Amino acid sequence: MSLIEVKNLCKSFGSLQVLDNVNLSVDEGERIAIIGGSGCGKSVFLRSLELLETPDGGQIFIDGEDITSKRADVNMIRRKMGMVYQKFYLFSHLNVLDNLCLAPVKLLGMTRAEAEANAIEWLSKVGLSSKIHAMPANLSGGQQQRIAICRSLMMNPKVLLFDEPTSALDPTMVGEVLAMIRMLAKHNLTMLIVTHEMNFAREVASRVLFFADKGIYEQGTPAEIFDSPKREKTVAFIRKLKYFGYEITSRHFDLLAMQGGIHSFTEKYGINKKLAYRLELCSEELVYEMLSGCYDKARNDVNISLEISYSEADSSVVLTLTSGGEKFNPFDNAQKISDDDDVHLGVAILKKVAKGGINYEFSEGLNKIQITL
């Protein structure tokens, strides 16, 4: 039996029909990303699952119970779902611990001691133990959103619903929230995520739904939707992701050719001059950091790939560098190219301009760095 079953869901606002006979089955453990243009019904669909929007027709089953039935105990069924909104909606007059403990004590019958122990455990997992007594007004937007996610998890939901959880955040805070959702994905939690973060959807989701024409226009694995979409409107939407690639096979590569290619790419797609300059600067510094850290200075042949992805949907830019050679994370203070290189100028520059976060991993003999600008 599916954890969520949606049958012929319809929703209109006056004469405007937003959803028309939408059908979906979600199995336990699935991670579903919902993408699409503004106004296509993504958030309306998600809110309908909890009856925050009242459907005009159709049925919604949550763990076998019909939440749309007139006889349904809606509040009891809602307890099986955790909802995370664009805004955080923390109780401003309560500190973090009280925000987390209120619902499980009042609704689940937990003792205060049990709730506090659970809260402390979740705060530890997301790196916010030091904020346990902080008031919401003294937290950053990213911290507030992580607390809001913890608050949902305190109710032990069977499914988590995310309605564009990073859209209200400053770009510098997006990465920390997405990292938390990635962590939850590894714990086999069932999640439906409305998002404009295409790279995140590709990485985390087990299935992607593209919404258009009043419902699910096309669905498939991330590879099927992002690499091989079949239907016309999906293709048009996905092609808003533009790519630039450059391969470096020699230590004595043509830097001016690489920078010229980046410059042409940014001009072609209207990327503003300040961001274009950052891209050129980051690319140069990152390549030279990896040349120095991954390869012996006497070695001329190298294997470095540089890729820039630009989303016209949300104007986000991600710089990805993949390098062979030795394992080397230039952002790890413990790793130095030489004993007298305590702080590399290139690393300092990269950290300063990487407003959206930096991620590093080493897998199958390759170093991979992603920088969001």
At 133, list the tokens: 């007594």
User: The sheet that has 16-26: what strands, in order across it?
Assistant: 16-26, 4-13, 57-62, 65-66
Q: Helix or strand or coil: residue 245?
A: strand
Mean pLDDT value across the chain: 89
pLDDT band at residue 344 under the 50/70/90 scheme: low
Residue 175 has pLDDT above 90, yes or no: no
The pLDDT value recorded for residue 346 is: 63
Percentage of the chain exceeding pLDDT 90: 58
| SS3 call for 50 | coil
CATH class, 241-372 region: alpha beta
Question: Which long-range contacts (C-beta less than 8 Å, at least 24 apart) are formed by 197-204?
Answer: 197/166, 197/314, 197/316, 198/35, 198/226, 198/241, 198/311, 198/313, 198/314, 198/316, 199/309, 199/316, 199/318, 199/370, 200/33, 201/33, 201/35, 201/226, 202/226, 204/31, 204/33
pLDDT, average across residues 356-366: 85
pLDDT at 150 over 70: yes
Do 4-238 and 241-372 share a fold?
A: no
The mean-pLDDT minimum among 8-17, 115-124, 140-149, 324-333 falls in 324-333
**Tokens 């925050």, residue?**
52
Q: Region 247-263: what's the mean pLDDT? A: 92
Task: Give yes or no for a contact between 98 and 152, defined as CB atoms under 8 angstroms apart.
Answer: no
pLDDT tens across 275-290, in order?
888 889 889 988 998 9
Tokens of 334: 């413990």
Residue 265: C-alpha distances to residues 242, 251, 281, 304, 317 (Å): 9, 24, 15, 19, 12
Query: pLDDT digit string (tens) for 240-252?
Result: 777 788 999 999 9
CATH class, range 4-238: alpha beta
Q: What is the CA radius of gyration of the chain?
A: 23
Distances (CA, A) of 156 to 190, 330, 351: 12, 39, 37
pLDDT score, position 135:
96
| Range from 95-104, 312-321, 344-353 that averages highest in pLDDT | 95-104
Domain boundaries, the chain: 4-238, 241-372
Distance (Å, rounded) from C-alpha 307 to C-alpha 353? 17
Give how far Cα 206 sits from Cα of 34, 185, 276, Å. Answer: 11, 10, 33
pLDDT category of residue 339 using cuts at 50, 70 and 90: very low
Nearest-angstrom CA–CA distance, 165 and 169? 8
- Model confidence at 317, pLDDT cuts 50, 70, 90, reads confident
Of 106 and 351, which is predicted with more confidence?
106
Residue 196: its pLDDT value, please? 86
pLDDT digits over 8-67, tens only? 999 999 988 999 999 999 999 999 999 998 889 999 999 999 999 999 999 999 999 999
Residue 151 has pLDDT above 90, yes or no: yes
The residues with which 33 forms a beta bridge, in sequence order, are 193, 208
Range list of H helices, 219-372: 222-227, 232-238, 255-268, 273-294, 345-353
The model's pTM is 0.65
Question: In which band, very low, low, confident or very high, does the pLDDT at 274 lie, cut at 50, 70 and 90?
Answer: confident
pLDDT of residue 121: 94
